[in-house]
Structure 1
Amino acid sequence: DETTRMPELEEFIIDIVKYTGGFIIRKIKNKSNLCGICDLFLTQKETVNESLLLKLKTKGKLINISSDVHKICLAAEYIIRFYSNELLKIKNVKMYLTIKTLNEISTDSTIFNNYEMKQHILNQDPFNNHRRQLIQLIIEPYISLRLNHIAKMHSLSMTGKNVRHKCTKMILFKNQ
C-alpha cells in the first residue's frame, strides 16, 4: 500500500472544503435522526478562523462546521485527489474511497475524541459506535458529492460547449 504522505492542499481548496462541509452537515441533519450529543459535535457556534470565502458567502444560513468535521472532509479530499488518476479504473469507487478515507482518519486520534464523546460511546459496540457512525455519515455524502462533480466536469470536457443555448437564432443546427 502507499506509504507516502499526501501533499498539502492550497488555502483556497481548504476554504471550499469547509464551505462544502457545511452543506454536508445540513444534509446530514435533515436526513439523519442524530442523538443530541452527536448533533453538538457537528457544528461550531463561534466563528474561529473563518475563511474569506465563508465571510463573503454567508448571509446567515451557512453552517460553521466543527474542526473535527473539517478534518474528516479534508482527509476525504486528500484521498480523492490522491486517487484522481485511477478513479475510472477502480470498481466500486465510492466504497474504495470511503475505506481509504477511514484508514487515513484512523491514524488521527484527535477526531471526536474528547471527554463527552468518550462517555457517550462508553456502553456502545466498539466497532460500530456513534463516533464511527458519525465519521461514516460525513465521509459518504462528501465523496458522493465530489464524485458527482468530477463526473460532471468530465462529461462537460467530453461534450464541449453547448452552442445552441448561447446562439439559438444564429446557429440552428450544429448537431445540437
Structure 2
Amino acid sequence: MKVRLATQLLSASVADALEFCRDIGIPEFLGCDGTIQLIRIFNNLLDVMNSRNMRAKGRKWALAKLNVEETKNFFENVEVYIKHLKFLDGTLVIDSNRSNGFRGFIVCMKSLIALYNTLIAQENSTLNYICTYKLSQDHLELFFGSIRAKCGFNNNPSARMFRAAYKRLLVHAQFKDSATGNCLPLEKITILNASAINSTTGNCRLVESPDDITMNLENLDDHDYIFPTLTEYAHHVVEYIAGFVVRKLKKQLHCETCIQSTLESTPNKNTFSLVSHKNKGGLIQPSDGVTKVCSTAEKILREYQTRVGSKCVGQPKYFLTMINKLSGMLLPTSIFNNLIEFIRKLFPR
C-alpha cells in the first residue's frame, strides 16, 4: 500500500472531478453520488489527521479549544457513516475481513480526542493546540527510507550496516526527501541534522523520448484519449490548465496590455466550466486565445504520442510549426513567444 497515492485518490480534487463529470452528463459517471460522498468524508478526515498549524483553513486547522466541539461532532458523524458502510451483498464493511483500515480510522479519532482531553483540556495544561501531523509515522518512514538508501536498499541489513548508515546520516547529511517511499513529507522537519548540507532534487523530463514510449496499436480503442479530437471533458481540463499557464506567464510579462489579453474579459462568461466549478477565489479564467493555443498543443501532443514513429511528428520543429500555424494569430507576439518557449522545454534538443 502506498499512502501517498491513497491520499491523492481520497481528495477533494477527485470528488470535484467526479461531480463535474456527472454534471456534464458523462454516462459512466451517472449515479456516483455515494462515491463522491465517501471521498469527501475521508478527505476531511485525512485533513484533520494531518493538521500542521493554526493558520490553516477548514479541517486542516490544528485541534484546539476553538474547534474541538466541531471536530467531535464531525468524528461522531464519520463513525456512524463508517459503521453503516455495506458491500453489495449487504455485509457491513466493519464486520468483514477488510475492516482493519476502517477500524483504524475509528481508533485514531477516539485516540485524538483522548489526547486532547489529557494534554489540553486540563486546567494546568501548557499546550494550546495539537498538530496531528507531528503524531504520524511519516517521519519514521522517511528515516527508514534513508537507512535503506544508505544500505543499498537491502531489506535485511546487518547490525554493522545499520550502524554505518546511521553514522553517515548523523554526521554527513540530513534527510533527502524521496518520492519513492511510502509517504511524502508535508513539511520541512530536520532529523539528524548535524551539517548544513542541503538536498537538491534532480532534473526530470516532462515528456518521454520516442524510445521510451511504447504504443500497442491493436488496443487503440481502449485508449481513446490519445486521439486528437478533444471531448467536452478534455476541453474543460485544457481550459483549467490554460489558467495555470496564464498564471506563469503573468510573472514573466511586464506589459499590462499583454497581461490583460491572456485573461477573459468577462469572467462569468462560462459559468459551467471546470474552472468555475473548482474556483474558490484563486483560479484564473484564461482568454479564448490562450485556451486555443493550449488546445492545439494538447492535440499535437496526442498526435505526437500516436504517431511517434513518424519522422516529421517526432521532431520538436514540427510540433512548434503546427502550433504557430494553428494559433499564431490569436495572441500578441510577445505572449506567443513565451508560450513557444514554455512548450520548447518539453522536448530535449
Q: TM-score, normalised by structure 2?
A: 0.30
Q: Residues 143, 20 of structure 1: CA spacing in aligned structure 2 closer, same or farther, 3 A cutoff? A: farther
- Which residue is equivalent to 1:161? none
Q: Does 1:135 align with 2:135?
A: no
- Which residue is equivalent to 2:301? 80
State whether residues 76 and 143 of structure 1, in contact with CA within 8 Å, keep that contact through their aligned partners in structure 2.
Answer: no
Query: d(CA) in 2 for partners of 1:144 and 1:51?
Result: 32
Query: d(CA) in 2 for partners of 1:74 and 1:80?
Result: 10
- Which residue is equivalent to 1:59? 280
Name which of structure 1's ranges 135-144 and 49-58 shifts more when overlaid on structure 2.
135-144
Larger radius of gyration: 2
Query: d(CA) in 2 for partners of 1:10 and 1:90?
Result: 28
Q: Residues 139, 60 of structure 1: CA spacing in aligned structure 2 closer, same or farther, 3 A cutoff? A: farther
Query: d(CA) in 1 for partners of 2:256 and 2:342?
Result: 21
Matches within 5 A, 1:111-122: 111-112=330-331
Among residues 207, 215, 229, which one is paired with 1:8 in the alignment?
229
Cα drift, residue 56 of structure 1 = 2.5
- Which residue is equivalent to 1:44? 264
Cα drift, residue 60 of structure 1 = 0.7
Q: Which amino acid aligns with 1:97?
A: F
Structure 2 unaligned runs (5+)? 1-226
Whichever structure has more helix as a proportion of its residues is 1
Cα drift, residue 54 of structure 1 = 1.6
How many equivalent residue pairs? 120
Q: TM-score, normalised by structure 1?
A: 0.56
Q: Residues 94, 20 of structure 1: CA spacing in aligned structure 2 closer, same or farther, 3 A cutoff? A: farther
Q: Residues 94, 140 of structure 1: CA spacing in aligned structure 2 closer, same or farther, 3 A cutoff? A: farther
Superposition RMSD on alpha carbons, in Å?
3.0
Q: Which amino acid aligns with 2:239?
A: K
Q: Residues 52, 44 of structure 1: CA spacing in aligned structure 2 closer, same or farther, 3 A cutoff? A: closer
Report percent identity of matched pairs: 27
Q: Which structure's relative contact order is higher, taking Cα pairs within 8 Å and 6+ residues apart?
A: 1
What secondary structure, in the 3-state scheme, does the structure 2 residue paired with 1:73 have?
Answer: helix
Query: d(CA) in 2 for partners of 1:87 and 1:27?
Result: 29
- Which residue is equivalent to 2:248? 27
- Which residue is equivalent to 2:327? 105
Query: d(CA) in 1 for partners of 2:327 and 2:232?
Result: 21
Cα drift, residue 142 of structure 1 = 5.1
Cα drift, residue 89 of structure 1 = 6.9
Q: Which amino acid aligns with 1:39?
A: I
Structure 1 unaligned runs (5+)? 1-5, 113-130, 148-176
Cα drift, residue 90 of structure 1 = 6.1
Query: d(CA) in 1 for partners of 2:283 and 2:341?
Result: 21
Q: Residues 57, 140 of structure 1: CA spacing in aligned structure 2 closer, same or farther, 3 A cutoff? A: farther
